[in-house]
Amino acid sequence: MTRPFEQAMAAFAPALPLGVAFSGGADSTALLLACAQRWPGQVVALHVHHGLQAAGDDFERHCYTVCAALGVPLWCQHVDARHAPGQSPEAAARHARYKAFEALALDNKAQAAIQTIAIAQHADDQIETLLLALSRGAGLPGLSAMAAQWQRAGLTYCRPLLQVSRVSLRAWLSAQGSSFIEDPSNTDERFTRNRIRAQLLPALQRCFPQFLDTFARSSRHAAQAQLVLQEVAEADLARVGAPPLLADLQTLRPARLANLLRHWLLTVHHTTPSTAQLEELMRQIAACQTRGHQLQLKVGQGFCVRRGKALDWYNPTLF
């Protein structure tokens, strides 16, 4: 019988040559090994040294050893992934990692080669992401968790293992007899994701043995609903204009107005309002009934203001 990991890899059909994000841990080792076996000579490993741990140099040396044994080229990028005050350490590391992948894949030696990058996040990671989103009161974009495929900076990113459990992945890797490293930060329960992994997932497994499948199904439903909301927002924005006319915004029902404002702020101005900011913005839009009524509200890193008949947003630090 074909196992889940093998099924997932059989269904994976990326454009080649392929870059595989490779940390040296179990998950990325399994993905790199499977890709190298399936597409010999068409795979490059991409390793990011985050500069956060003393063991980072050891991780890099391990990756070189594994790739040399597989006959897979390894490209490394050193980054400073320290987080700024108020920034999530996970978010800072993720941002630095993707910038590094882009640099590795798009530099001169790879200009005509790497178009697709595979990442080894799996079903357990997906559920951890969903639970984090729930704990933060996220809307549909957060509840959609991680996408199986997306575009960024001219590259296609894929997560082919999102329906494979950590247990299935490790069972396949164990059968291959391949070595991997354990990142000690993955067991540090000061980080919320690690507490979810160590404490919450085992409890869910005891209460709901099929939770990996059922929770992931809920995320897929959320992602489908978000696509519909995005299409509605795109149509509404085309009608009200950018910047949007206040009179047209006032004709929308609250839920539809909120959907449009989130879409406009994110896609046009690359900012996301908090729930409180969005609610206050909607209240002020409704109050703009006379020509002289002014509107100014901090939203994200900038301000929403009234300019004549329209709503606008600006960031004073950019001027």
What's the pLDDT tens digit per position in 172-189?
999 998 889 888 777 888
What is the chain's mean pLDDT, rounded? Answer: 88
The mean pLDDT value for 225-240 works out to 96
The mean pLDDT value for 111-126 works out to 86
Q: Is the pLDDT of residue 111 over 80?
A: no
Beta bridge partners of 157: 117, 150
Q: Which of 147-161, 202-216, 224-238, 247-261 has the lowest mean pLDDT?
A: 147-161
Q: What is the Cα–Cα distance from 36 to 122, expressed in whole angstroms?
A: 19
pLDDT at residue number 169: 95
Q: What is the Cα–Cα distance from 121 to 150, expressed in whole angstroms?
A: 14
- Per-residue pLDDT tens digits for 38-81: 999 999 999 887 666 666 678 889 999 999 999 999 988 876 65
Q: What is the Cα–Cα distance from 239 to 256, expressed in whole angstroms?
A: 13
Of 227 and 152, the structure prediction assigns the larger pLDDT to 227
Q: Is the pLDDT of residue 242 over 70?
A: yes
pLDDT at residue number 187: 81
Q: Is the pLDDT of residue 110 over 60?
A: no
Q: Is the pLDDT of residue 108 over 50?
A: no
The mean pLDDT value for 269-290 works out to 94
pLDDT at residue number 1: 45
**With contact defined as beta carbons under 8 Å apart, do 243 and 312 qualify?**
yes
Q: Is the pLDDT of residue 93 over 80?
A: no
Q: Which amino acid is at 111?
A: Q
